Amino acid sequence: MPSLSVFGAQWGDEGKGKLIDFLAENQDLVVRYQGGANAGHTVVVEGEKYVLHLIPSGILHAEKVNMIGPGVAVDPIKLLEEIDGLLERGVHVDGENLRLAAGAHVIFEHHKRIDGLSELWRGKGRIGTTGRGIGPCYADKAARTGLRVADLLDPTRFRERLGAALAEKNALIERVHGEAPLNVEEQIDLYVSMGDRLRPLVADVGAEVRRAYREGRSILFEGAQGVMLDIDHGTYPYVTSSSTGVGGIAGGAAFPPQHIEEAWGIAKAYCTRVGEGPFPSEIFGEAAEALRKAGNEFGATTGRPRRAGWFDAVAVRYAFDLAGASGWIMTKLDVLSGLEEIPFAVAYSRGSERWTEYPAHLASMDDVQVELETLPGWSEDITGVRSFDDLPATARAYVEHVEKITGVPIVMISVGPGREAVIRRSS
Q: Report the interface residues with ligand IMP, using CB under 6 A.
A: 12-13, 38-40, 127-130, 132, 134-135, 224-225, 229, 238, 240-241, 274-275
Whether 13 sits among the annotated catalytic residues: the reply is yes
CB of 299 to ligand IMP, least distance (A): 7
CB of 284 to ligand IMP, least distance (A): 18
Whether 61 sits among the annotated catalytic residues: the reply is no
Contact by Cβ (8 Å): 221, 4? yes
In this structure, are strands 307-312 and 270-273 parallel, antiparallel, or unpaired?
antiparallel
Q: Which of 13, 21, 115, 334 is flagged as catalytic?
A: 13
Which residue has the closest beta carbon to ligand IMP? 275
Task: Give the residues across from 410 on adjacent strands.
Answer: 328
Our CB check for ligand IMP shows the closer of 61 and 132 to be 132
Q: Which of 21, 28, 41, 105 is flagged as catalytic?
A: 41
Our CB check for ligand IMP shows the closer of 79 and 150 to be 79
CB of 427 to ligand IMP, least distance (A): 26
CB of 300 to ligand IMP, least distance (A): 8
Our CB check for ligand IMP shows the closer of 122 and 350 to be 122
CA dist 174 and 283 (Å) reads 41
Our CB check for ligand IMP shows the closer of 9 and 188 to be 9
CB of 372 to ligand IMP, least distance (A): 24
Our CB check for ligand IMP shows the closer of 66 and 97 to be 66
Give the residue numbers annotated as catalytic, written as ranges: 13, 41
